[in-house]
Structure 1
Amino acid sequence: MINLKPAIEAGYTGRGVEVGIVDTGESVGSISFPELYGRKEHGYNENYKNYTAYMRKEAPEDGDGKDIEASFDDEAVIETEAKPTDIRHVKEIGHIDVVSHIIGGRSVDGRPAGGIAPDATLHIMNTHDGTKNEIMSAAIRNAWVKLGERGVRIVNNSFGTTSRAGTADHFQIANSEEQYRQALLAYSGGDKTDEGIRLMQQSDYGNLSYHIRNKNMLFIFSASNDAQAQPNTLTLLPFYEKDAQKGIITVAGVDRSGEKFNGSNHCGITAMWCLSAPYEASVRFTRTNPIQIAGTSFSAPIVTGTAALLLQKYPWMSNDNLRTTLLTTAQDIGAVGVDSKFGWGLLDAGKAMNGPASFPFGDFTADTKGTSDIAYSFRNDISGTGGLIKKGGSQLQLHGNNTYTGKTIIEGGSLVLYGNNKSDMRVETKGALIYNGAASGGSLNSDGIVYLADTDRSGANETVHIKGDLQLGGEGTLYTRLGKLLKVDGTAMTGGKLYMSARGKGAGYLNRTGQRVPFLSAAKIGRDYSFFTNIETDGGLLASLDSVEKTAGSEGDTLSYYVRRGNAARTASAAAHSAPAGLKHAVEQGGSNLENLMVELDASESSATPETVETAAADRTDMPGIRPYGATFRAAAAVQHANAADGVRIFNSLAATVYADSTAAHADMQGRRLKAVSDGLDHNATGLRVIAQTQQDGGTWEQGGVEGKMRGSTQTVGIAAKTGENTTAAATLGMGHSTWSENSANAKTDSISLFAGIRHDAGDIGYLKGLFSYGRYKNSISRSTGADEHAEGSVNGTLMQLGALGGVNVPFAATGDLTVEGGLRYDLLKQDAFAEKGSALGWSGNSLTEGTLVGLAGLKLSQPLSDKAVLFATAGVERDLNGRDYTVTGGFTGATAATGKTGARNMPHTRLVAGLGADVEFGNGWNGLARYSYAGSKQYGNHSGRVGVGYRF
């Protein structure tokens, strides 16, 4: 009913907020029940004797025997099979307990919390006289003083006095004006001495007025339950002292249908500081049945609990801010607008959590305090005749379309406009106004910072619209971005500092010849750009801003920057000087690729006008035989206007080195697998053997501060057999998976390969080996491209390896052998053409064929440990006799003719290899092996572990 669910789902619980509860009817329940344990204050009445259950007359005469839902919180209903109980039949629970529970009762044993703000700190003040079931005026005032001393900001008061006869200690409507007059006299016409304050606090009105004005406290009162046209007389103070409105809210009661509760007083003359809330609730304490309760005493704490949630979200809000927000976000019920029956309407907690909806009481001063890294948001549309004064260092964001007519003054911190704002604006020297996206506002006078920010991630330019005049003072700064337009309906007077950013997607594509980009247009520019005392730019990666020019036209005056693009190849070459050694080649290659693309784009502009960034949502199709260019222009423009400090990263990404690097890593891993087959040929066992092995690889390439990592695994099955007296042959089938990662790119390679080998022993003169492998692979790539894009692609290929080796065995020690082996291997890689997706700066690669001749030499030492175990050690060298070049020629996917090639890391041509291992015969034909091997150089290292089992028939 009060729309509490959004606040609950957002996680607001009142944590960190201190709430005062001034009430009566204390019971043992407030001490013993865990919902409120440790949250009670005692004895602010000198006549306090003992506590007795206090029963308010607004409770129903009898329970109706039906389950009652908590009307103040439709989303946190307390359910039970037990029948609800009238509060008058629960002797251990009093009025003060139920009020406190509604505001901030804790959740116990997993049951839903009855409290709206269960994590708020409650200062519960009992004012019961102990004998008469009445509340004492002096005790109330003492409680308010105590709460004020403790810094409590929100106080619930579910009590009051009316025109009915009361004790001498209570005042009536008939004498309320006289009491107010006496309070002012006691305050001695503005006397702020301790004595003046003491005299003022001796009256109810004087005490209220003092704490509202000096302690920034908000007092929330129930309207009382006498079915009268006027509410509780304690709420009448603003009728006599208008400024006290900011600290008092009257709460009337409504039933579930939104009609006025028959017993509730109306808002009456307090309508402008009054709203309505549900009057009935069902609460439950530990070891009790649900308690049915009704009356405005239980309407007020619903508003108080909501105020606590609001203060948690906006801890800087004053009492004026809180009451403005609670009142103006209420749901209008009854007569249209504010009326004497319902006031502003029904409390809307969810809407209140989005800030005020109107400024009807004059200017709304938002002193947000804090620092610039803290931001608060108002998301409601704000109307009203008041204005907004922004103070404090933190940021305030206005997300609505606001029609309030008062002025907006920014004295400190920043104010961000996300929507339209009708108000005229003034920015002081310590303030900042940020127009986010295509925001608009009234006239603007600034001696602070005016910042035109972006919201459109697509890169579309956005226009900020000032529906009036613009005055930029000499102390201020206009911060804008190339491609962003500030449109002024009236006269623009420039001055102060101009800071132009050439960065951002919306700035548009720049060609070599240059172009004029407007940034300020007005019906009349009263002073030209020379009145900017200082003009600065941050410069984009390839954007060169030359000058500011003023032009006059039929629709007004315009200030523009003249800009052109730089040469990508030269820029990349300069950036490469500061790049890590391992990136220099890739950075230069990426710059060359981009320059080739932009030459093509420049040419396309001369033959057919492309869309500007503003209208390039759809790709261009007006050039027969040529691919669409819209996305390509956007992607190239984003690089042109990127931060120059990101040049190394961007140019490196445009080289797409991951294709060559991951292919080289895969070729190296397949070579390791072929070597495993070669080692298996040295097994001298007779008969047919079946082999099953698994191999794990981990490799790292590192050069000049740049690193690439490979991880791989292969499972193989195969056979080996003596095919003659001096000949052994083997064949295996391997399934492999590997990953390669570098910078902002990753590759996953899946392969299936056939390996085969044959060895022929020639007696004392040695042996010969022939080796063969053939495998197919699929390389799946995911990487960053350009300034802020992502591309994915996959490429298929084959790798064939042919090897010829010769070796000789030399006796070693008494029982061992030393084998000297050498030979050649030829690697032939063929890779299909491919095209990446997801980015116009993705790579479209041509097919690749590359052959590499590898020289092999090594030593192998075998030493039997027993008749069933042999230990092995190997050492050797591999060298690529011609360059292994896996770079891929092609071009960007968004190009039609521009060509280039990918980069490649400086993978080592010479690799040292070494290993340890053992073969073991288990008996009954079973045997096992274990191997560790290393291959690498100064920049590269691959560690491999292999285990396997075999069975000999």
Structure 2
Amino acid sequence: MIWRDKFRKYDPNDPNNKNAIENKLNGEGVLVGVLDSGFNNPFMGDDIRTKFGGHAAIMKTGRVTFTGTHGISVSEMIAGNKDRHNNGVAPRTRLLLADISIGNASGVSPSLDIYNALWHNGARIFNQSFGVTKMVTGFSKDLFIDNTRFFKKTNANYYAHQFNHGLLDFYRDKVKQDGLFIWAAGNERNDPNPSLEPGLPHFEPDLKKGWISVVAVAARHQNGLGNFNWNNLKPYSQAGVAKDWSITAVGDYRFDIHDLETARKVTMIQSGSSFSAPAVTGTAALVKQKYPWMTNEQIKMTILSTATDIGAEGVDDVFGWGLLDVEKATKGPARFDKRLTDEKDVVLNVDNNNANYYGYNYNPYQFENDISGDVGLVKKGNGHLILSGNSTFTGKTELQQGSLAIYGKHYYSPMVIKENSSLYTRDTDFRHAIENHGYYYNNGRTSVNNYRATPMAKLITSNDAKLVVNGEADLNGSKVALYSKEYVTNNGVLSMPLVAQAIKGVPIIEPHGMYSVVGNLEDNALHVELKRENVLSYLKSNVKFVDVMRENAAEAMEKTMVAIDNQLPTYRSLLSAPITKVLAELQQGKLNDKNEESTFDKLSGQIYASAQALTFQNAEAVNKDLSNRLDTLGTSADPTLASGAWASAIYANGKLTQPGFGEGKTQTLAGQVGADTMAADDVIVGAAMNYSKANVTFNRYGGNSQAKGVGVSLYSRLNNIYSTPVYLQGRLGFGSVNSDVERELVQETQQQKRKVNHRDKVISAYIESGYNLKQNDFTVTPFMGIAYDNVIRGAFTETNSQLGLTAPKQAYAQTSGLVGLRVARQLRYANGMKTTLQGYVNHQVAFNRQDLSYTAKYTGANNVLNHADFKVKGIGLVKNKTWLGIGSTTEITPNTTWYVNYDLKLENTKGYNNVVSTGIRVKF
């Protein structure tokens, strides 16, 4: 047997060339139906569990055998687990095993019911390692022996009479529905043709699209079994009339199997096309896994066209398309051939595989083989497909949907790019013309005979790429859009992206990304100058909705780019700095995950400013809880107030909002414990500790901040209602907050969430004075107070992203005054206990406006760029706010008091906050 492939060498230890396939390619998610004998053999259960684990299921067929084992070895070739013989081609393929034994495994006979059950359970690929021994050419296509006779005699040799009822109709119907039937060709050494079943398309040509006949090459003599060297192999039944749908595979393999006579595991060599066919079936499962959108006709085309040429050159009568090459088949087809496509163009309906707007793909489908042939390619579907080998097929290529990338050196097919489809090229030599109705992206030096564009077409090219048109370029008022793979400064770069022997028509020249561009046609060439556009100007021109947050992000980006522009003339190495490369990708639009609005939102970093408002909010909640506590002590306690301990729980939720920024929803859970006593006549003093968990989540990719805080407070009240109507009370608090911020960052590869921690300190002070007007059990108290809160936000750095933020610690403070009115009513009970109902309203005005902004740099610019820091804005603190509250304090026992309060804070345009607190105090 002649070996004709100079790139592949035959390996007797890996005859199917499967050991080098990519790791994750294992048939996962593909279901194969296997029709054979021995699956219902009660003695083979352990073998099935060992060889296939949980990915093989035995279908009920009503057939039982106590001697058959053939199907176990056949199935092991498809999907056996890795063992010392390494037979399984696709070890994670799901198998649906159908026992078709008859006569205690003396033969097999499939039925329509069994095939239908396999189909209805999801099988679309079928392995059939059985068949009649007679060659396909030994049967007749004629139903009658002599059609000229009046009384016609039925031809017993008529091919269709050899099949059980309904099977031929099943094959015809299911091939049309994308079924693929893989057959063992037969085991007769001297037969020049396969048996009837694998050769059936000889009589039924429409079956060819879903039919594969597998020829086996095996040891020449029985005493040569175990010698897998190439010169010891010889074919069994040959391809013959089935050569156009035939492939060859080695048929000798070692198997460990349960010996029914000794009841022990034994190693045996089994030989025949029964074991070459499942090697092809396993390959079909791998191809289906890698290219799930392929039709089974295209899977067949891929497997046959990638076979290694052996024997007579080309597709021959002995070996068909050649020897199975599993690895090559998993890299896509090698021919677009009339014999494999029924003389039609190859129509690839590639589904969407996460290509973003600009065509950059995280997991693209790729054909890596060189592709020759005599038919064309039609690309459909929204997905992205890469052809990385040389393409010398001669039919026309038509892109109707999605995108196609051509990275091979040669492309012989004429190219038509339809509307809404995209072509990508890189250093490719086109032997024919490109007709562009859609989008053509050129990256590198590409040559083409002629280029013709419609007015709606667009050519997108990098400034260092060049489209060389050896004939005429008809630009026809189409668009030519420029970008740069490297960072572009505001000084600009010159380029010549298109040259031709003749140019017809004038193009519309525009930027493709964050650039400005000017150009002109001169000497049959397009000359352009590309400059960086001001980021804020770009934002306002290209984003529909522009607000403070997005403007702030654009200003930050602009300041960083200005720093690069200023330093590049002196430090050229800055061009290769990571931050500069990332900004180049941002200029190109590569980092736009969904749209440019979301990109600017993610660049904002407002959460580190806006979330501080929640820290101030929590300090206010503690102030309010202690203020309510002191008021209760001062207005409802008896003159002989004893020492006591208390505990309270606080729940708060609200909203942080300000026009121009993302909105945050807040939630806080807190608790306080404390103790107080009468330190002197009319003087209450106490101390408290608090713990809180607060959370704020911002929309518009703002992120989430979770803060855990602990704090201590000292509080006091001078005078109570029984001594004098005038009182003075206050609180001094110290706290520590541990904040975890998680937000989605714009990164070089893809958008990912990152978590950053910063530790903050809080100092709060509050003093209040009022006058109690008491009439029996009713009290009205006008009051006024001053509040001071100081928050020192810790330093932070967002790592693993050049466009993350780094900022030093920063302090914020606000002092405010308030005036308000409280009312209280005591309800006394017959048992001497009482309940005090309270309500209040107060208005608070800040003496200073605190916007919570901070100074930051991009992480990638830190220690690299000078004068690249910028101000990050966020939701600030309001100047005016109003509090409303109601509460109730009830004596449960003479020494135990329970209370509950609800407080509502209203702010002008920046949201609201609800605070519910409840607690208990016990006198000593």
TM-score relative to the length of structure 2: 0.71
Alignment match, 1:857? 820
1:701 paired with 2:664, answer: no
Give me the whole-angstrom Cα distance separating, in 1, the residues matched to 2:920 and 2:516.
67
Deviation per residue, 1:206-247 (Å, 9 max, x gap)? x99x989x9899875543333325343657899999999876
Identity of aligned residues (%): 15
1:689 paired with 2:644, answer: yes
Do the aligned residues in 1 keep the contact of 2:487 with 2:580 (CA within 8 Å)? no
Does the C-alpha gap of structure 1 residues 649 and 689 become closer, same or farther in structure 2, counting only changes over 3 Å?
same
Deviation per residue, 1:904-931 (Å, 9 max, x gap)? 3254322221223333444484443332
Deviation per residue, 1:225-278 (Å, 9 max, x gap)? 333253436578999999998766343375887589999734265667342365
User: How much has 1:761 moved relative to structure 2?
Assistant: 1.0
Alignment match, 1:267? 238
- From 732, 750, 767, the equivalent of 2:688 is 732
Does the C-alpha gap of structure 1 residues 416 and 339 become closer, same or farther in structure 2, counting only changes over 3 Å?
same
Secondary structure of the 1:887 match is coil
Alignment match, 1:819? 781
- From 574, 580, 589, the equivalent of 1:630 is 580
Do the aligned residues in 2 keep the contact of 1:338 with 1:345 (CA within 8 Å)? yes
Amino acid at match of 2:717: R
Deviation per residue, 1:292-321 (Å, 9 max, x gap)? 9977574586378569856896677475x4
Alignment match, 2:668? 712
User: How much has 1:660 moved relative to structure 2?
Assistant: 2.6
Do the aligned residues in 2 keep the contact of 1:377 with 1:399 (CA within 8 Å)? yes
Give me the whole-angstrom Cα distance separating, in 1, the residues matched to 2:100 and 2:123.
28
1:943 paired with 2:914, answer: yes
Q: What CA RMSD, in Å, does the superposition of the two structures yield over aligned residues?
A: 5.7
Alignment match, 2:628? 679
1:252 paired with 2:216, answer: yes
Secondary structure of the 1:600 match is helix
Does the C-alpha gap of structure 1 residues 155 and 444 become closer, same or farther in structure 2, counting only changes over 3 Å?
farther
Moved more, 4-13 or 303-312: 303-312
Deviation per residue, 1:568-622 (Å, 9 max, x gap)? 455667899944xxxx44344444444433333332234444554xxx2x45xxx
Alignment match, 1:130? none
Give me the whole-angstrom Cα distance separating, in 1, the residues matched to 2:854 and 2:820.
34
Alignment match, 2:278? 302
1:663 paired with 2:612, answer: yes
Alignment match, 2:853? 888
User: How much has 1:656 moved relative to structure 2?
Assistant: 3.4
Secondary structure of the 1:721 match is strand
Alignment match, 1:750? 708
1:469 paired with 2:448, answer: yes
Give me the whole-angstrom Cα distance separating, in 1, the residues matched to 2:280 and 2:525.
54
Does the C-alpha gap of structure 1 residues 856 and 231 become closer, same or farther in structure 2, counting only changes over 3 Å?
same
Secondary structure of the 1:659 match is helix
Give me the whole-angstrom Cα distance separating, in 1, the residues matched to 2:41 and 2:792.
87
Secondary structure of the 1:764 match is coil
Deviation per residue, 1:513-557 (Å, 9 max, x gap)? 43325534xxx62124xx3554264754x4223334558xxxxx9
Secondary structure of the 1:527 match is strand
Deviation per residue, 1:800-839 (Å, 9 max, x gap)? 2222211222235x53433332222223344455554433
Secondary structure of the 1:691 match is strand
Does the C-alpha gap of structure 1 residues 258 and 331 become closer, same or farther in structure 2, counting only changes over 3 Å?
farther
Secondary structure of the 1:428 match is strand
Do the aligned residues in 2 keep the contact of 1:155 with 1:218 (CA within 8 Å)? no
Deviation per residue, 1:109-150 (Å, 9 max, x gap)? xxxxxx9x9732799xxxxxxxxxxxxxxxxxxxxxxxxxxx
User: How much has 1:711 moved relative to structure 2?
Assistant: 1.7
Do the aligned residues in 1 keep the contact of 2:881 with 2:907 (CA within 8 Å)? yes
User: How much has 1:851 moved relative to structure 2?
Assistant: 4.0
Alignment match, 1:111? none
Do the aligned residues in 1 keep the contact of 2:516 with 2:533 (CA within 8 Å)? yes
Amino acid at match of 2:670: T
Secondary structure of the 1:407 match is coil
Amino acid at match of 1:74: G
Do the aligned residues in 1 keep the contact of 2:187 with 2:237 (CA within 8 Å)? no
Deviation per residue, 1:744-802 (Å, 9 max, x gap)? 22323333322121111163332111321222334443445679867765544433222
Do the aligned residues in 1 keep the contact of 2:485 with 2:585 (CA within 8 Å)? no
Does the C-alpha gap of structure 1 residues 945 and 331 become closer, same or farther in structure 2, counting only changes over 3 Å?
farther
Moved more, 230-239 or 436-445: 230-239
1:932 paired with 2:899, answer: no
Alignment match, 1:767? 727
Does the C-alpha gap of structure 1 residues 431 and 944 become closer, same or farther in structure 2, counting only changes over 3 Å?
closer
Amino acid at match of 2:691: M
Does the C-alpha gap of structure 1 residues 856 and 588 become closer, same or farther in structure 2, counting only changes over 3 Å?
farther
Does the C-alpha gap of structure 1 residues 823 and 635 become closer, same or farther in structure 2, counting only changes over 3 Å?
farther
Deviation per residue, 1:329-388 (Å, 9 max, x gap)? 457899999888766566566764654244577786554375875899875543465245
Moved more, 416-425 or 323-332: 323-332
Alignment match, 2:49? none
Alignment match, 2:885? 915
Give me the whole-angstrom Cα distance separating, in 2, the residues matched to 1:38 and 1:69.
17
Amino acid at match of 2:185: A
Does the C-alpha gap of structure 1 residues 186 and 392 become closer, same or farther in structure 2, counting only changes over 3 Å?
farther
Give me the whole-angstrom Cα distance separating, in 2, the residues matched to 1:692 and 1:277.
81
Moved more, 931-940 or 839-848: 839-848
- From 529, 532, 536, the equivalent of 1:562 is 529
Deviation per residue, 1:646-703 (Å, 9 max, x gap)? 6665555555332332112211211210221222223226222222333222111245
The 5-angstrom pairing of residues 373-388 of structure 1 reads 379=366, 381-383=368-370, 385-387=372-374
Do the aligned residues in 2 keep the contact of 1:431 with 1:449 (CA within 8 Å)? yes
Alignment match, 1:225? 187
Give me the whole-angstrom Cα distance separating, in 2, the residues matched to 1:354 and 1:508.
32
Give me the whole-angstrom Cα distance separating, in 2, the residues matched to 1:865 and 1:437.
88
Does the C-alpha gap of structure 1 residues 846 and 928 become closer, same or farther in structure 2, counting only changes over 3 Å?
closer
Do the aligned residues in 2 keep the contact of 1:808 with 1:821 (CA within 8 Å)? yes
Amino acid at match of 2:695: T
Aligned residue pairs total: 810
1:327 paired with 2:304, answer: yes
Does the C-alpha gap of structure 1 residues 37 and 158 become closer, same or farther in structure 2, counting only changes over 3 Å?
same
In structure 1, the gaps of 5 or more residues are 41-51, 80-86, 107-114, 124-153, 163-169, 189-197, 454-461, 552-556, 620-628
Secondary structure of the 2:568 match is helix
1:96 paired with 2:73, answer: no
- From 663, 679, 685, the equivalent of 1:723 is 679
Do the aligned residues in 2 keep the contact of 1:277 with 1:300 (CA within 8 Å)? yes
The 5-angstrom pairing of residues 142-153 of structure 1 reads none
Does the C-alpha gap of structure 1 residues 825 and 574 become closer, same or farther in structure 2, counting only changes over 3 Å?
farther
Does the C-alpha gap of structure 1 residues 298 and 282 become closer, same or farther in structure 2, counting only changes over 3 Å?
farther
Do the aligned residues in 2 keep the contact of 1:429 with 1:476 (CA within 8 Å)? no
Deviation per residue, 1:426-452 (Å, 9 max, x gap)? 113648985557574543411235745
Moved more, 857-866 or 755-764: 857-866
Does the C-alpha gap of structure 1 residues 159 and 829 become closer, same or farther in structure 2, counting only changes over 3 Å?
same
1:516 paired with 2:494, answer: yes
Do the aligned residues in 2 keep the contact of 1:317 with 1:367 (CA within 8 Å)? no
Amino acid at match of 1:547: G
In structure 2, the gaps of 5 or more residues are 1-13, 43-56, 89-98, 149-153, 219-224, 355-362
TM-score relative to the length of structure 1: 0.69
Secondary structure of the 1:687 match is coil
